[in-house]
Amino acid sequence: MAMIPEGKTIDDIKAREAIIRDFYREWKTKNPSQRKYNISLKDYINIRMVSIIETSEHAAKNYLSTLAVLQLDSILVGAKKVSVRKPKQDNKNQKPFERILIMEHELVGIGTVKMTVGVRRSTHEKIQYCITAIDSKE
């Protein structure tokens, strides 16, 4: 795997964005069902295009968030629901969701990681929406 740049320059952020997108591409190849069973929810959390877009755009802004994404399996399986909220009305990527689950997971060396999961209005399918390290306020 390539070295992950730690800086805050536009080039560093773009490099981290590419690392995250490549990671998801490899993850989807290794996980053809594109989902993992979450112990806390007792249900599957699915990876979709919106997962990759939102996470790469937000997590790439911070080095620790980028490191967190690389532990996707651990987060998908072990994150615990801490709150539920309504989707943001002004966010087109959140329109298909009836509610948003806020989940947290502890990662060694990174700390608390927040995973946002959208619950689809029509199918109630849970979609991983975004992952960020909590101490990295964007």
Model pLDDT for residues 9-25, shown as the tens digit of each residue: 999 999 999 999 999 99
> Average model confidence (pLDDT) for the chain?
94
pLDDT tens across 28-45, in order? 999 999 999 999 999 999
Please, are residues 13 and 60 in contact by the beta-carbon 8 Å criterion?
Answer: yes
Residue 138 is predicted with a pLDDT of 42
Q: What is the pTM of this model?
A: 0.93
Q: Please determine, for residue 135, whether its predicted confidence score (pLDDT) is greater than 90.
A: no
Residue 73 is predicted with a pLDDT of 97
88 CA to centre of own chain: 17
Q: What would the mean pLDDT of 119-125 be, rounded to a whole number?
A: 96
Q: Can you tell me which residue has the tokens 């080039």?
A: 11
